[in-house]
Amino acid sequence: MTDTDGNTLFFIKKQFMYCVPLKQFNWKNLFENVSIDVQEVLTNNTVNNSILIKYPIKASYQTAFLKFIINNLEKKKTEIHDCVYEALGRTMALPVPSAYHFKHFIFQNLDPIIIQESTNIISSGTTGLSVWEASVVLSEWCIANRERLKGKSILELGSGLGLTGITISRFCNPKIIRFSDCHQQVFDILSRNIKLNLENTLSTSDMSKSESPVIQKFVSDNQIVEVLKLFWEEIDENFCKSKEIDYVLAADVVYDSSIFPVLINALKLLIYYCNVTVIFACTQRNPETLESFLKTVVDNSLSLTKLNVPEQKEFIWPNDVPVKIFCIHRDEVKDFNIGVSQVE
């Protein structure tokens, strides 16, 4: 197998473990020359990967993945390894879908980030039980700016399943990373995801010394991780003065104009009392909603800067719906290394 084959197979594995939709899947040149040996390596690295036994991705996705491969090999009149058919039979016999499954974010020479999520996009009245593209893009942004976040105290609003905060904890070496949300079922999965990905470096802290709204706390020699049950309405002067916060991050929280007033008020207080820099990523599903939010920001005498979206290096994401990243701040924009352009 050539180096190119190895790079191609790793990229396919990376997409598979994240469950990139097959219609958006980049197979590169895989089907041009798929030997029996390559098919075996591909199968062992994807559907037969041992980690999927404990942390399975959607069974329906695994089956569709194998069927796509078989169909394309048949079109090329390529001999198909028995292991591919055996894997297909096994995935088709898997139990009916459960309420939850996993997505895996894999990296070269590093442990993966594994995120449990709900099978339903909207579950129990919240959208916080799924991984959204904006959180993936924001995670890439954080890695690209890890030196800016190193040693800082960070608050994430609407943490959901915790991908961005876990990425910050793993890659950016912050002083404090605070996850926050307001839905109990989100906290249940968020807590599991934090423990799954960070338990080797963090230990549970004595909660008797913690004050509301902290509901969980983990510590290591050089980092504190807190989970906050935080309604945006509760962000007031007392909250801001009681917390050390340098950055506020959020992904996909700008989707409903009815929440803009309370969100903007919370950001104004955090900026005024803590002088934070706010970074938020949003998927532009509805341009009018996003433009309305940006106008509201400016109308409230806050400075707004559009940041360049980072290249896909550690993470991958579909490009069918654009994700934009903005900085809300008090003074002139900080130097974020990857370039900025002022919103007009």
Per-residue pLDDT reduced to its tens digit, 80-136? 999 999 999 999 998 877 788 999 999 998 999 999 998 775 444 444 466 889 999
Q: Return the pLDDT at 334.
A: 45
Q: Return the pLDDT at 339.
A: 38
Q: How confident is the model at residue 343 (pLDDT cuts 50, 70, 90)?
A: very low
CA dist 229 and 180 (Å) reads 6
CB 198 within 8 A of CB 176: no
Q: Return the pLDDT at 1.
A: 45
Question: CA distances (Å), 232 to each of 99, 158, 266, 276, in order?
Answer: 29, 9, 6, 16
**52-66, 191-205, 254-268, range with the lowest pLDDT:** 191-205
Question: CA distances (Å), 38 to each of 7, 41, 88, in order?
Answer: 12, 5, 17
Q: What is the CATH number of domain 120-342?
A: 3.40.50.150
Q: Return the pLDDT at 236.
A: 96
Could you report the per-residue pLDDT of 26-50, keeping only the tens digit for each? 999 899 889 999 999 999 999 999 9
Radius of gyration of the chain (CA): 22
Domain residue limits, the chain: 3-97, 120-342
